[in-house]
Structure 1
Amino acid sequence: MPKGSVTGSVTEAVKDVTLTRRAWLRSAGWSALAVSPLARTVAAWAQSYPSRPVTWVIPFAPGGATDQLSTGLCERLTARLGQPFALQHRPGAGGNVATRSVIEAAPDGYTILATSTANVIGASFDPSLPFDVTKDLTPVAGMARTPLLLLVNNDLPVRNLSEFVGYAKANPDKLSVTTAGPGTVQHLSAELFRSKAGIKWNIVHYRGSTPALVDVASGHVHAAFDNIPSALEMVKAGKLRAIAVTTQTRSDTLPDLPQITDILPGFDTSGFYGVAVPRGTPRPIVELLNREINAALSDPAIRERYAALGAIPLTGNVSEYDALFAAEIARWRKIVALLDVHKTD
């Protein structure tokens, strides 16, 4: 089974019913009327997709992992399908601002969400969310998994993981750790580390990885958990010190870094990135996007780009990715319950 395949990853773990295009597409009649003249009309319309620019919504600030993983795919989709796939950054509320905007968009394939781990965490982390990603979004295709790094400011007097834990225990409540926002994989990684290590520190939320890492590098905060694509350039430039990876195996990109699980058994977190559209988007469009994204992820240039970012491509058909998305939600639900951490905390 190919490394990073969806199948291999699964085991880890209308108000208005008038026949406007938007209302009808959201209705359950799409499946029931698959052989009707109206369904054939919509199918023909779907076959002409895309006939205008497509908006690819990024839930975080430019420069983060979601942004970097999406750029090459959008370039490829633009070239293959003949219409611009344009990135739109909508940071805020740990990705929920962007997610809600896509859910409320017309289910016609012209508004796409680049999903992240925050979407599968949010299903259990924030019970007050005005939407349900399992009901309001249709998973389309995977993008990648990415290990996270434990990063520290260069002036912090620690050189390895053991020294970091020792320093944190000796200085309770004095260390500050950044995240890309509440309910993100960075946040839950910090909470899990705090719990397993038995330490006390302050968690500071930002609106994305880029501003968070800039503040770690400048010394405003002491440490961060963040995805390799977001942090790699600053690590290579010597602006941040990486001392461990969050996955149970080492990263091919930074092979000298030990795993956190070496001293905190069972620790295992990673970024999970994919693509979704509003529920009710015609199946032919979903299938087309899935095929084109998988083709892009098989392109040697994009695979090389992902490898340089420490990202492992996720490929598979729509059903396989839908199963993986559900499995990720279940996995993070267990972690949220274990940590007993929610947005209201």
Structure 2
Amino acid sequence: MDSFLRWAVVAAAMLSAGVTASAQSAFSSKPVHIFVPYAAGGGVDILARTLGDVVSKQWGQSVVVENRPGAGGLVASQALVASPPDGYTLIVVASGHATNPLLHPKIPYDTFKDFTPISLLGSSPNILLVRADSPFKSLGDMIAQARAKPGSLSFAYAGTGTSTHLAGELLKNLAKIDLNAVPYRGGAPAINDLLGGQVAMSFNNGPESIPQLEAGTVRALAVTTASRASLLPNVPSMSETVPGYDTEVWWGLLGPAGMPADLVAKLSQDFVAALNTDAVKARLAKLGASPIGSSPKAFDAKIRADYEKWAPIVKAAGMKVE
């Protein structure tokens, strides 16, 4: 009997050790690849690389970030969809992932069926900027002018269907004003024309806006989130003047469709833990962003809610990306 008990204790210990080793070595056979749908150096790229550094140490395995820009994220997303659902290939997407099927007439995948949501990672407001010498001291001033002289004001934004474009169209829709939307190839050229007086205002993200605000060349009329941003506590939220206004740029982690539930749970847990490290929090703060770290179910709901929210706005604006 004693011999049997000793055998049982040893067997239990071996089983426990095997489970622990299995959990620790879930990603030990080869590097994990994270696709980024944009060029190196942007907010999505910085976030992916910062998180990759943290989880690689957790797993004891290298994490390779691959920049695959093109077609507003379609190139990288299509590559992910074609990858095995084994957790070794992931993608960090921005909020445009939810609106791409509204903008592209022939999207090469199903946004809801061909991906596995893992976690909503973080978000950041966009900012409505005017020149420092602009006569508009508040969002209310600008709206009053737009109503008095419909079509007399223009706003700049970076790219059709981007979060900054949608921010402007949502303002037009909710405030019932007529503004001219002027596209640019990026946020920096948009700000250059704002400073040059070619446009009255510009919607830009935090990393583009903060240096100009600190230099005193521009003034922020509002942030686009429902509440004020911690990075700019003295700048009103858009909803303080336009009730119901709320939009942001967000980033999330996806895998291919068909991933096992336990693998998805582990990935979500590990990336949420990484988001709560000081290194990641500090890097996000520099981007004017806040960590979130949601469950897979909550991230799936966010994607679907954004699709439904923006569908009428995109249709009303006649947005299409050929």
Q: Tell me which interval the TM-score lies in, with the shorter structure as reference length.
A: 0.7 to 0.9
Residues in 1 aligned to 2:235 and 2:31: alpha-carbon distance in whole angstroms: 42
CA gap 1:206/1:64 in 2 versus in 1, 3 angstroms: farther
1:76 corresponds, among 43, 54, 63, to: 54
| Residues in 2 aligned to 1:224 and 1:92: alpha-carbon distance in whole angstroms | 24
Match of residue 230 from structure 2: 252
CA distance in 2, matches of 1:143, 1:194: 29
CA RMSD, aligned part only? 3.2
Distance 1:215 1:59, change over 3 A: farther
Take 1:189 and 1:250, find their aligned partners in 2: how far apart are those partners?
Answer: 16
The reply on whether 1:343 has 2:308 as its aligned counterpart is no
1:205 partner amino acid: P
Give structure 2 stretches of 5+ with no counterpart. 1-21
Task: State how far apart, in whole Å, the 2-side matches of 1:240 and 1:198 are.
Answer: 25
Cα distance, 1:204–1:114 mapped onto 2, change above 3 Å? farther
Does structure 2 conserve the Cα–Cα contact (< 8 Å) formed by 1:175 and 1:201? yes
- How big is the shift at 1:200? 3.2
| 1:85-110 deviation line (CA, Å, top 9, x unaligned) | 33333334333333223223443433
Which of 99, 116, 127 pairs up with 2:77?
99
Tell me, in whole angstroms, the C-alpha distance in 2 between the residues paired with 1:259 and 1:226: 14
- Aligned-pair CA distance for 1:178: 3.0
Question: How many angstroms does 1:308 deviate by?
Answer: 4.5
Classify the secondary structure of the residue corresponding to 2:244.
coil
- Give the direction of change, closer, same or farther, for the CA distance of 1:45–1:103 in structure 2 (3 Å limit): farther
Taking a change above 3 Å as real, the CA distance of residues 95 and 204 of structure 1, as seen in their structure-2 partners, is: farther
Separation in structure 2 between the aligned mates of residue 56 and residue 211 of structure 1, nearest angstrom? 29
CA distance in 1, matches of 2:60, 2:137: 50
Q: Which of 145, 160, 166 pairs up with 2:138?
A: 160
Output the CA distance in 1 between the equivalents of 2:256 and 2:228: 36
Task: Report % sequence identity.
Answer: 35
Name the counterpart of 1:148. 126
Q: Give the structure 2 partner of residue 326 of structure 1.
A: 304
> Is residue 268 of structure 2 the alignment partner of residue 315 of structure 1?
no
TM-score, normalisation: structure 2: 0.78
Q: CA deviation at 1:309?
A: 3.5
Q: For 2:253, which of 263, 272, 275 is the aligned residue?
A: 275
Count of aligned pairs: 301
- Aligned position for 1:306: 284
In 2, Cα distance between equivalents of 1:155 and 1:128: 44
For 2:154 and 2:211, the matched residues in 1 are separated by 22
| Paired residues for 1:27-106 under 5 Å | 48-106=26-84
CA gap of 1:109–1:178, structure 2 versus 1, over 3 A, is farther
CA distance in 2, matches of 1:328, 1:46: 35
What amino acid is the match of 1:75?
Answer: D
Tell me, yes or no, if structure 1 residue 138 matches structure 2 residue 138: no
Give how far 1:288 is off.
2.9
Tell me the distance in 2 between the aligned counterparts of 1:136 and 1:194. 33
Q: CA deviation at 1:255?
A: 0.8
Distance in structure 1 (CA, Å) of the matches to 2:230 and 2:25: 41
Contact 2:120 2:295 in 1 (8 A): no
Q: Distance in 2 between matches of 1:103 and 1:111?
A: 10
1:190 pairs with 2:168? yes
Give runs of aligned pairs for residues 172-187 of structure 1, distance below 5 A.
172-173=150-151, 175-187=153-165
Please list, as runs of the form range in 1=range in 2, the aligned pairs for 1:280-295 lying within 5 A after superposition.
Answer: 280-295=258-273
Residue 214 of structure 2 is matched in structure 1 by 236
Larger radius of gyration: 2
Point out the more displaced range, 138-147 or 96-105. Answer: 96-105
Equivalent in the alignment of 1:202: 180
* Residue aligning to 2:17: none
Q: Is the 8 A contact 1:115 1:276 kept in 2?
A: yes
Segments of 5+ residues of structure 1 without an aligned counterpart are: 1-43
Which sits farther off after the overlay, 134-143 or 87-96?
87-96
Which whole-Å CA distance do the structure 2 matches of 1:135 and 1:178 have between them? Answer: 34
Q: 1:179 to 1:299 in 2, by over 3 A?
A: same
TM-score (norm 1): 0.73
Deviation of 1:207 after TM superposition, in Å, equals 5.0
What secondary structure, in the 3-state scheme, does the structure 1 residue paired with 2:113 have?
helix
Comparing 110-119 and 203-212, the one that deviates more: 203-212
TM-superposed CA distance for 1:303, in Å, is 2.5
Question: d(CA) in 1 for partners of 2:227 and 2:161?
Answer: 24
